[in-house]
Amino acid sequence: MSPDVDWNAALATVHGDRRLLKLVIKSFLAESLELQNQISTAMASEDAKLLHRTAHTFKGTMNSLGAVGWSHTARRLEEIGATGSTAGAQVVAEKLNQELPSLLEQLTTFSEEQSD
Amino acid sequence: MSHILVVDGALADRTLISGLLTNEFECNVQTAEDGAAALDCIEARRPDLVLTDLQMPGMDGLELLKSIRDEYPMIPVVLMTGKGSEDIAANAMKAGATSYVPKRQMAEELTSTVKHIIAATEDRMIPPHLMHRLEYSNSQFALSNDPAQIMSVVAHEQCTLRCLPLENEIERIRIGLALEAALSNALFHGNMDTGRENSRPTKERRNQLFCERWNQKPWCERRICLTAEISRERARFVISDGGEGFDTSCVDPQVMSLDIEGGRGLSLMYTIMDSVTFNSTGNEVTLIRNRAE
């Protein structure tokens, strides 16, 4: 079962400004595919630095958006990248790819529910 | 209107930071996604402040900081630090970053930090050249538990600090931030008993306790005492509060992390000042900063 976004935490990040939260979500939705591609590139080229940096970005934004349940997987990838190797990262990257759609769905639903 | 440059590799973070800043005060925010793009922006239009992430593609935050310190030493640089970046952030503070804001505390700390630095750079109340003629100043304050008084006294001391030869103007602002951190600790963790650095509550809880206690005994009777001695050789600040103090043996400056749950104030003091010492009971701290070599 997928975790739920903690909307109270997400709103605290933006001082309760739903308009701003919607903008942050839109930005994340716009860049998430690129971030996933960067992780794939990092795996293919065994680029631990890129893996570390991209997973760090994923984790940070997920935490800002109250998506703590998803950020644990990103943190695990970040930790692997920090070792200077991508060994063992494939399984975790696949887990992240499996988990992401449910987060993106919740974020999209929230975003669509907010008036402009 | 202040012009702020936000540098972050993540679009969502750039959106968040820009929104938090423009919601809180009148400023113009420009964004860049990495260090090289940031330098292009600075060359085109010099910002009043640069707010940068550390981990970015290409030129990262530490390299950007060093470039700005070399090329534009008057521009304050504030770091945004994430968990896992503490070591790089500590190096960046030593390399001359003006301050830092943990990304997890962005909503709580960002705008107050930026406002303080912008205000310090705009300080024009007393002609700067007059303060350059000052040989020695010794002032003593008994402050009530009012955050506004802290801001005022820091502004006053920052102005006086112009007589102390420092590497550059940014150092004067940094010393002001360290002094503000010490005074805020004395107010909230000392006089108001809202929890010491090693057991610090959230800022929301801290403010709630402050509202409950500021006009109640014994808290309302306590004062923050500041002795500020500034000469052309050094600045020495002694700050004491009326609280019970804390166990200073738990403070190890060698392992001060920039992203610990509490302790941003202590981190600022240790990274900016030449000497930080506590009395045996932990309710008095002495900060010393010597003139530049």
Q: Could you give the domains of chain B?
A: 2-121 (3.40.50.2300), 128-290 (3.30.565.10)
CA of B57 vs chain A CAs: smallest distance (Å): 8
> Looking at the complex, does the CB of residue B218 fall below 8 Å from at least one CB of chain A?
no
- Give the per-residue pLDDT at A36: 95
Contacts of A27 in chain B (CB under 8 A): 11-12, 14-16
**Sign of the torsion angle spanned by Cα atoms A4, B107, A55, A110:** positive
List the single range of A32-41, A73-82, B55-64, B70-79 with lowest mean pLDDT: B55-64
- Give the per-residue pLDDT at B260: 43
CA of B179 vs chain A CAs: smallest distance (Å): 28
Contact A59, A78 (CB under 8 A): yes
Q: Across chain B, where does the E strand assignment appear?
A: 2-7, 27-32, 49-53, 77-81, 99-102, 136-143, 224-231, 234-240, 275-278, 284-290
Contact A39, A55 (CB under 8 A): yes
Of A13, A31, A78, the CB nearest to B107: A13
Place of tokens 């190096």: B91
- Domain boundaries defined on chain A: 18-107
Q: Is the pTM of this model over 0.80?
A: no
- Tell me the two tokens of residue B202: 């959230």
Of A12, A13, A31, the CB nearest to B10: A31
% of residues, chain A, pLDDT over 90: 90
> Does A53 contact B57 at a Cβ distance shorter than 8 Å?
yes
Residue in chain A nearest B11 by alpha carbon = A27
Q: Give the contacts of B13 (CB within 8 A, at least 6 positions apart).
A: A57, A60, A61, A64, B53, B80, B103
> At B144, phi and psi to the nearest 5?
-80, 180
> Does B84 contact A56 at a Cβ distance shorter than 8 Å?
yes
Residue in chain B nearest A35 by alpha carbon = B10
> Looking at the complex, does the CB of residue A18 fall below 8 Å from at least one CB of chain B?
no
- Give the per-residue pLDDT at A100: 95
Model confidence pLDDT, tens digit, residues A86-95: 999 999 999 9
Contacts 24+ apart (CB under 8 A), B269-277: B269/B178, B269/B181, B269/B182, B271/B90, B271/B93, B271/B94, B272/B93, B272/B174, B272/B175, B272/B177, B272/B178, B273/B175, B273/B178
Half-sphere exposure of B53 (CA within 13 A, CB side): 29
> Looking at the complex, does the CB of residue B15 fall below 8 Å from at least one CB of chain A?
yes
> Does A27 contact B104 at a Cβ distance shorter than 8 Å?
no
> Looking at the complex, does the CB of residue B14 fall below 8 Å from at least one CB of chain A?
yes
Taking alpha carbons only, the member of B23, B15, B61, B54 closest to residue A61 is: B15
ipTM: 0.93
**Sign of the torsion angle spanned by Cα atoms B149, B155, B159, B160:** positive
Contacts of A103 in chain B (CB under 8 A): none
Q: How many pairs of residues across A and B have Cβ atoms under 8 Å apart? A: 68
- For each successive 10 residues of chain B (293 residues), what is the average pLDDT? 93 95 92 94 94 87 90 90 71 84 84 86 67 90 89 89 90 92 91 69 75 84 95 96 82 55 76 92 94 90
Q: What is the mean pLDDT of residues A98-115?
A: 92
CA of A84 vs chain B CAs: smallest distance (Å): 14
